[in-house]
Amino acid sequence: MQTLENMRDYIAVLKSQGQLHEIDREVDCDLELGAIMKKSNCRKGPALLFNKLKGFPDGFRAFGSPVNAWSKPGMTYSRIATSMGLAPETNVLEIIERLSTIADLPRVKPVVVGDNVPCKENKLLGNDVDLTKLPAPLLHMGDGGQYIGTWHIVITETFDRSWTNWGMYRTMVHDRKTLGAPLIPTQHIGMQYATWKAAGKPMPFAMAFGVDPLSPLIASMAIPKGVSEVDVVGAYRGKPLEQVRCETVDLCVPASAEIVIEGYVSLDDLRTEGPFTEYTGFLIKSAKDWPVFNVTAMTWRNNPILPVVCTGEPVEDHLCMSVSLAAGVLDLLRKAGLPVLATFIPPSSALHHLIIKVDKDRFQGTDRELVNAIAGVVWSDKVGTFSPKIFLVDEDIDITDTEIMLWCSATRCHPERGAHLFPDTTVVPLQPYLSPEEKKAAKTTNVVYDCTWSKDIPKDKRPIRATFEGLWSEAVQRKVNENWGKDGFE
């Protein structure tokens, strides 16, 4: 397994795989760029490299859809696999398995290198800071502004410097010197901000854009509180990640970055961030006042490339979160000793559906007790708050096959006994169907659909799947397979 060192190497690998499309004509960052990405995403098209951006110097580029799905058969998750140093055809369940153990690997601390790195080639400090020099796009009609941060790393620390957090939080440009991003108290950045606010000091921050492909993938995962993502990246790579010190704050960023923005989060200056078109597939019309990110420095390499994700109706680059969240759930359930074989979040569910394959025979208890145990583990952790609807299935079901899952839920889930409601459960308040009161409380009723055969039905009385493999002998199957080509079939 060989992970890539920077985004440009990643772009080159995608090009060699045939899943990079370059656009050489001038493209407008005001809506046109987002529209091109959206139309391509709907077709599960290639990653996009915009080589000429209207109003910006030659050489400034944008890299779109870095981890979205690809339409080539068997290669849906190829960009995620490539980002992880795996073969592009790696099965999604294997990817989830690998990610499910990543936080338990022995940590590898980063190393700090000197300033002779590309991201220091151009610098604007203090009063010279001007965010309009960077190609932040207005992605959708109705968005509150230009969002420079859609696939990046936001770096913060606790006041006592004991915990460095890497996260990915949407970031809007307010003006030449300020940014806006949500500081949700239950997210790690919000927890760290609270430690600085308690001390009465503005929180330092840094943002790194266009780093190696693995780092933003890890930054977007639900790594446990107190664990520094940069150490996890080193653990997965098997070697330290190279970092460089910032210009005006006491933080470090990946040395591979194309663009770096740094500064301090205000204690009392609030400004409206949003609206923004979210992963749920809807333009969320609400906006909220959040503390302002005051920029004290911005640095970038010559001819920088800004990575961009165009969120919206699935499938788009939140494909990576469907994988990482499924991995987090798998880890939680296995550590709880529950008989879970695999987990999966269908990309088209916008993270709302979580499918869990179980081996009921290994569970000493009733059907309802298994449902309660799984729900208790999943929805008591941050990683489960994105998925309010759980589907339990038996081990014979291919949980990555949408048509098989529809058939399974239709034929095995009892309309009354199969649906188990869990009121007053904590959820991500972006779920579109929530009432205003539920959004404010971030609580609603979740559900588990038990699509497994009930233990009340003896194994020898259960229906047999009417498949090619299930209802014909091996001899008949072999004869049919051997003659398939001769019979004129492909």
What tens digit of pLDDT does each residue of 439-449 get? Answer: 889 999 999 99
Please state, as a whole number, how many other Cβ atoms lie within 10 Å of the Cβ of residue 407: 14
- What's the pLDDT score for residue 324? 94
Token couple for 406:
């529809």
| Confidence check: pLDDT of 186 > 70 | yes
Which class is domain 336-461?
Answer: alpha beta
Ordered by start, the domain boundaries in the chain are 7-308, 336-461
Q: Cα–Cα distance between 275 and 272 in angstroms, integer?
A: 9
Please state, as a whole number, how many other Cβ atoms lie within 10 Å of the Cβ of residue 300: 25
Token couple for 12:
């080159």
Q: Cα–Cα distance between 44 and 78 in angstroms, integer?
A: 12
- What's the pLDDT score for residue 459? 83
What proportions of the chain, in percent to the nearest 5, are helix, strand and coil?
30, 25, 45
The helix or strand, by DSSP H or E, that contains position 79, with its residue range, turns out to be helix 78-83
In sequence order, the 6+-apart residues with CB closer than 8 A to the CB of 410 are none
- pLDDT per position as a tens digit, 394-432: 999 999 999 999 999 999 999 999 999 999 999 988 889
Please state, as a whole number, how many other Cβ atoms lie within 10 Å of the Cβ of residue 252: 21
Segment among 152-156, 284-288, 320-324, 408-412 with least mean pLDDT: 284-288
- What's the pLDDT score for residue 285? 78
N residues, the chain? 490
For the residues 320-334, what does the mean pLDDT come to?
95
How much is the pTM?
Answer: 0.93
- pLDDT per position as a tens digit, 211-264: 999 999 999 998 889 999 999 999 999 999 999 999 999 999 999 999 999 999
Give the SS3 label for residue 272. strand
Supply the angle between the helices 319-335 and 92-100 in degrees, to the nearest 10.
50
Q: Cα–Cα distance between 194 and 190 in angstroms, integer?
A: 6
Q: Cα–Cα distance between 24 and 6 in angstroms, integer?
A: 23
Please state, as a whole number, how many other Cβ atoms lie within 10 Å of the Cβ of residue 52: 15
Give CA separation, 36 vs 26, 27, 49, 92, 275, in Å.
Answer: 12, 9, 11, 27, 21
Block residue for tokens 């369940």 = 93
- pLDDT per position as a tens digit, 290-299: 999 999 999 9
Amino acid at 360: K
Catalytic residue among 247, 278, 403, 469: 278
For the residues 358-384, what does the mean pLDDT come to?
94
What backbone torsions phi and psi does residue 425 show, to the nearest 5 degrees?
Answer: -100, 140
| Confidence check: pLDDT of 1 > 80 | no
For the residues 316-320, what does the mean pLDDT come to?
90
Please state, as a whole number, how many other Cβ atoms lie within 10 Å of the Cβ of residue 489: 8
- For residue 10, which of 74, 66, 86 has the smallest C-alpha distance? 66
- Catalytic annotation present for 474: no
Give CA separation, 428 vs 279, 303, 323, 382, in Å.
Answer: 12, 38, 17, 9
CATH 3.90.79.10 corresponds to the domain 7-308? no
